[in-house]
Chains A and B, each alone.
Chain A
Amino acid sequence: MKSVVSYIMAVSTVAIAAVAHAEVGGDATRGEDLYRQCASCHQIGADAVDRVGPQLNGIFDRAAGQSDGFRYSRGMERAAAGGLVWTYDTLDAYIEDPRSLVSNTRMSFRGLEEQQDRDDVLAYLRLFSDNPRDIPESAPTAAAIDHEVAPEILAIVGDPAYGEYLSGECTACHQTSGAASGIPSITHWPSEDFVIAMHAYKDGVRLHPVMQMMAGRLSNEEIAALAAYFKDIE
């Protein structure tokens, strides 16, 4: 209960502090550029669906934790139960430092320090909230795919039991609870995103040396097994 109370206080403090810049408005075009770093997890636009993170159409004035079917972290569920609503001010606070607003969120994002950057991203997000009728009838504006993986590899059905054993190599760094600071969460990722990300490391498209080494010696079946395990991990 204490956490909920302190959370509500935190939100109201933020709200007061944030009124001043809420009127300023940002540059949605620049925001679209900045949104690329969000797009690896959050789709937005026509046909956007939940992936690693929930889709963000209509996020303004939506209660937190309300995208149907998305498995939120316990931290976000707590925040939602405490009455968090996504307004300009709460979104601003959240993308500045996700964990300071919602402790234990799975959103592994370091945050946008600059007020201008946040204003611009929020201006871009607002396009998909204020005028939903204007959302173009095309593919999602921002999709997560940064690497092509052959359909036959994506079609492999992984063995979660084998994935559980292999996951020992992941859990030396990645916490199964989804807690993330410095090392991102990989809990409850959709299998396809997991497989694409691992092949991107394996193929040297994503650059992190530890992940390249880890993914580099995993077979297609092993990657599928890990994806199957982390998708439904308790």
Chain B
Amino acid sequence: MKFNRRAFIGTAAAAASTFAAPLLVRADGHAKPRVVIVGGGAGGATAARYIAKDSNGEIDVTLIEPTRTYYTCFFSNLYLGGFRSMESLGHSYGTLAGEYGINVVHDWATGVDRDAKTVATAGGHTIPYDRLILSPGIDFVDGAVAGWDVTSQNAMPHAYKAGSQTELLRAQIEAMPQGGTYAMVAPPNPFRCPPGPYERVSMVAHMLKETNPTAKILIADPKEKFSKQGLFEAGWNDHYAGMIERVGPDFGGDNVEVDPNAMTLSIDGDVTNVDVCNVIPAMKAGKIAEIAGITEGNWAPVNAADLSSKMDENIHVLGDACAQGDMPKSGFSANSQAKVCANAVRGALTGSTVFPARFANTCWSLIDTNDGVKVGASYEATDEKIAKVDGFISEVGESAEVRQATFEESVGWYDGITADMFG
């Protein structure tokens, strides 16, 4: 899409003056337009902050997020590898509430009444909105891995929502007997953080190499290929030779059953005793998207230009939960989408200038100490989807200096994106 900025701004300004009056009718007869955001992660926290910051008090922003301290899923693998503390991944909503005037409600959103334009919470509140932004992340598909459900996540953790599950997984790995087996059931596409399971394998291998060098890592993977595969496999060969075995679908990696009581993993009928079993099931949009009735299959389809739901123009869906096209499900993507959405929502509610959508993503992964790699791309909005424009990926055989600089850059990015999310 070719775009002329001058013409665009002219049009937007004209539209703002023409339509300013009807915009004054608000939910509930409230004086200011209300935006309610469900989910305080990379998508929701960023959207809340940008709308509050840029609307200069013209929009009431409510953020519904159950946890008081948010632990980022990104970099939680580095906690498993011993490179980060859990505290360093935790963030409070104090700045968003105190400095940005966002009404932070620590509660679960349990219902959406799209006709009345209200959100119901587990605490019994009904919160009206003019625009609703859902950024609920992921939930797991029931029955995705035979023998596993949420009641067995203590025996076989997913650790794919950061926090107690991640700490549990690390404790289990630390308790493995010498020469024991860590197994991972990898998820099918599409899923949160495409390089995530493989960075995790790298971090687990890093930890085992130091404390339990005869241990084995077994991956059952339903996918033929995975993100940064060449980089990871070369890295595993360099740093962890002989430790990691991956069984792809050609050898039954897509035909898996677990027994959390017996601690066994069956791959294509072949049963293995394992000491740790990290089950990462197939994923779907966070439950509230389904409850709102805006999902199709496992995800919520959205329009590329403003992340609005294809089923309800007053609802936007960000991050992992939405089906938008080419962007991977990542914190970086959610943060990028949130800024486009925030700009569009402000424009719709206050007549502020709406600039054209533009998106980007970069995913860094750590393979071993100071061995960082990255993949990234830029994206634009087309009529059908968010479409990839250009991209890059680290190369196999880069110098140690480049890999170290990539890792240091990822640490800088972590500080940057969390400042962008939480202020």
Contacts and interface: CB of A to CB of B under 8 A. Distances in A.
Interface of A: 110, 161-162, 164-166, 168-169, 171-177, 179-183, 209-210, 212-214, 216-217, 219, 221-222
B84 to A, nearest CB: 14
6 nearest A-B pairs in the assembled complex, by CB-CB distance: A182-B412, A183-B412, A168-B339, A182-B408, A209-B392, A173-B416
Contacts of B343: 165, 168
B419 interface: yes
B370 to A, nearest CB: 12
Interface of B: 5, 9, 50, 54, 332, 335-336, 339-340, 343, 353, 355, 358, 360, 362, 374, 376-378, 389-392, 408-413, 415-417, 419-420
- Residue from the set B391, B411, B412 with the largest chain A CB neighbour count within 10 Å: B412
Contact of B5 (A164, A174, A179, A221): A221
6 contacts: A110-B408, A165-B355, A169-B360, A171-B419, A172-B336, A209-B374
Contact of A172 (B54, B377, B389, B416): B416
Contact of A216 (B340, B390, B408, B412): B390
B409 A183 contact: yes
Contacts of A209: 374, 376, 392
A64 to B, nearest CB: 24
A212 B408 CA distance: 18
A175 B412 CA distance: 9
Contacts of B362: 173, 210
A110 B401 CA distance: 13
Nearest to B332: A172
A168 B409 CA distance: 18
A169 B392 CA distance: 17
A183 B355 CA distance: 27
Nearest to B393: A209
Nearest to B356: A165
A183 B417 CA distance: 11
A80 to B, nearest CB: 24
A161 B353 contact: yes
B412 A173 contact: yes
Contact of B374 (A179, A210, A212): A210
B417 A172 contact: yes
A166 B391 CA distance: 19
B389 A217 contact: yes
Contacts of A171: 416, 419-420
B206 to A, nearest CB: 20
A216 B377 CA distance: 12
Contacts of B360: 169, 172, 213-214
Contact of A175 (B332, B390, B415): B415
Given A213-B377, A213-B390, A183 B5 contact: no
A168 B378 contact: no
A173 B390 contact: no
B391 A175 contact: no
Nearest to B355: A165
Nearest to A164: B54
Contacts of B419: 171, 175-177, 179
Contacts of B9: 162
B411 A182 contact: yes
Given A171-B420, A182-B411, A213-B392, 8 more contacts: A162-B355, A165-B353, A168-B336, A173-B412, A183-B413, A213-B360, A213-B391, A217-B390
A210 B376 contact: yes
Contacts of B411: 181-182
Contacts of A181: 408, 411-412, 415
Nearest to A171: B420
Nearest to B413: A173
B348 to A, nearest CB: 15
B4 to A, nearest CB: 10
B413 A168 contact: no
B389 A182 contact: no
B229 to A, nearest CB: 19
B16 to A, nearest CB: 14
B272 to A, nearest CB: 40
A212 B393 CA distance: 12
Contacts of A110: 408
A182 B409 contact: yes
B361 to A, nearest CB: 9
A216 B392 CA distance: 12
B390 A182 contact: no
A42 to B, nearest CB: 21
Nearest to A214: B360
Contacts of A217: 358, 378, 389-390
Contacts of B376: 209-210, 213
Contacts of B389: 217
A161 B8 CA distance: 14
A216 B378 CA distance: 10
Contact of B416 (A183, A213, A221): A183
A172 B411 CA distance: 12
Nearest to A222: B5
B358 A173 contact: no
Contacts of B417: 172-173
B415 A172 contact: no
A210 B415 contact: no
B375 to A, nearest CB: 10
Contacts of B5: 162, 219, 221-222
A172 B420 contact: yes
A213 B378 contact: yes
A174 B416 contact: yes
A169 B336 contact: yes
Contacts of B390: 213, 216-217
A169 B416 contact: no
A175 B5 CA distance: 26
Contacts of B420: 171-172, 175
A75 B310 CA distance: 48
Nearest to A216: B390
Contacts of A172: 332, 335-336, 360, 413, 416-417, 420
